[in-house]
Structure 1
């Protein structure tokens, strides 16, 4: 089989701290499992602008066309200049049709048994920076009016619904819940729900229900244990998955994987946190588990059991560190640095491989 390649892009702010930790853990696990994967460093965000005059330059795009997986740190686009089109949120998801963002949340050391996978469509919907490759879906015809568009397609809805049910099959999950607001958005949410219902009929062993978005938000807080997999549209998924992260104590504990038909990208669900950048206190867990999710996806995609085993080893080692509470960052009650937590995960890799 052709040698696999993974692109690594640090992103902005704390991305320059947590991505190197994830890369070191990835490299160690590949070495221990005797897996030969080429790791390619590429610029994106501020670093790319400084070098190429664009946050998503052609150099990076051309290299990404030839990789099997991507690891990408957070992008600090909220602080980009608004008057320069070259300072933009890199439209990686849209460009490479990474249509579903898979965001698992799991409780640790709490009284609640929370274990939910959010599956969010990310190439259409209302999120302007993620759904276009040129121009803007918002405009202001005069100073008193702003108009925004929301795009829902049958194809996009069907793909994200099928992704959710396929994950349920793979992970032995029992129920998929579609989150929507069909009584109000009868055509847009209506189309999304229609496709979810169609796909559900093909998976007879998996229970399916649908619930209004506001009801789900309330039930996530009051009884999150009742949910298994939640599939929804772009903006709804962005909000719900952040509520989920709050339930388990920190956005630094919320990993993510953006998947398409032929490519996947590991990207933690949190932002670039410029307020703590450079302090070596950011939690690397979400980025590390996102990387493990990428290895698992590649393992199933390319039928390489070693990659799945490496993914499982990373996940167990990171979870062991969380459970022991000795080398964890301040956001989850510890005093360790980003680097110290990463080094402890590597030590656990070595122990767990014996």
Structure 2
């Protein structure tokens, strides 16, 4: 049995977490859950956003599944997600986007994975505000080792999964140092993977190409801010944030998460769609080498998504969260 830290989160988090637990139980997945929460709910109950018990659990188990978390707004709190990524050097934010039969989108045959550098760039927290002049400076800190780690992760993924191409998205034409570093590192690392084509695209052209012909891309790698923007764009190509998975992966820890919000307006109403968290849990099973269980659950999920009437309202059906969950379980 593998023990996993489970972070239910806020809003609809506990509902979609229970759905994943029920599906894992029905599929006899050999994992046990150690539940520890974070975010607004924990702050209200305990006065802390990131309890020490959660951090201890993460450091012990090294793998976690996380529901959507709310960071209190307007109170000076740093994003919990950003804190966890920087605290444990979870430098690779990995976001697959794949067309699924039954899920309405404007495109067919999209099958790409985005690797976003997760710990530096404009999210480094290096900000200066001049009160007198009313000038705000945000420093984009990009390091060579940071670029090397994320680019190497992208090429390694492409190599393992038989992908033909890695696309590097950058702004080296304007950002002469911060942008150029990613590009130069990518060209060096590409030499170690002669069977994989490397191309680079300036970020604005990259956005245009993604919304015109997304099927041309396999693996995309980029810096933190650009990756944050592109990852949601890519989700939009295949049905939105409610149906895509996400992972934050470092050398010693991995946190898999639903990337959508906590949707407090529908919490407790049985309307939540657990697909994003379930797909993240499937990614987690691949990560801990329980691939047979991953394929089994993924097949049942895809078979359910193919029938709109068996899905939740956001997917065009009328099923509740629990009914959708039971429809998946029936197909295991």
Q: TM-score, normalised by structure 2?
A: 0.93
Structure-2 separation of matches of 1:250 and 1:310? 25
Q: Is the 8 A contact 2:304 2:310 kept in 1?
A: yes
Q: Does the residue aligned with 2:169 lie in a helix, a strand or coil?
A: strand
Q: Deviations over 1:253-288 (max 9, x none)?
A: 111111111221111222222333333222211110
| Correspondences of 1:92-111 after superposition (within 5 Å) | 92-109=84-101
Structure-2 separation of matches of 1:99 and 1:64? 16
Query: What is the Cα deviation at residue 188 of structure 1?
Result: 0.5
Q: Does the residue aligned with 1:182 lie in a helix, a strand or coil?
A: coil
Aligned mate of 2:154, from 150, 153, 164: 164
Q: TM-score, normalised by structure 1?
A: 0.87
Structure-2 separation of matches of 1:126 and 1:278? 36
| Residue of structure 2 equivalent to 1:72 | 66
In the alignment, structure 1 segments of 5+ residues that lack a partner are 300-306, 350-354
Structure-2 separation of matches of 1:285 and 1:122? 23
Structure-2 separation of matches of 1:222 and 1:16? 37
Structure-2 separation of matches of 1:54 and 1:276? 25
Distance 1:84 1:154, change over 3 A: closer
| Correspondences of 1:103-142 after superposition (within 5 Å) | 103-109=95-101, 112-127=108-123, 131=124, 136-142=125-131
Aligned mate of 1:324, from 290, 296, 307: 307
In the alignment, structure 2 segments of 5+ residues that lack a partner are none
Structure-1 separation of matches of 2:193 and 2:73? 47
Q: Is the 8 A contact 1:250 1:331 kept in 2?
A: no
Structure-2 separation of matches of 1:88 and 1:214? 27
| Correspondences of 1:194-273 after superposition (within 5 Å) | 194-273=184-263
Structure-2 separation of matches of 1:67 and 1:83? 31
Structure-2 separation of matches of 1:23 and 1:260? 25
Aligned mate of 2:291, from 298, 301, 308: 308
**4+ residue segments displaced more than 4 Å:** none
Q: Does the residue aligned with 2:175 lie in a helix, a strand or coil?
A: coil
Q: Which structure's relative contact order is higher, taking Cα pairs within 8 Å and 6+ residues apart?
A: 2
Structure-2 separation of matches of 1:275 and 1:140? 35
Q: Is the 8 A contact 2:309 2:316 kept in 1?
A: no
Q: CA RMSD in A?
A: 1.7
Q: Is the 8 A contact 2:168 2:221 kept in 1?
A: yes
Structure-1 separation of matches of 2:60 and 2:226? 32
How many aligned residue pairs are there? Answer: 326
**Structure 1 residue 180 corresponds to structure 2 residue 170:** yes
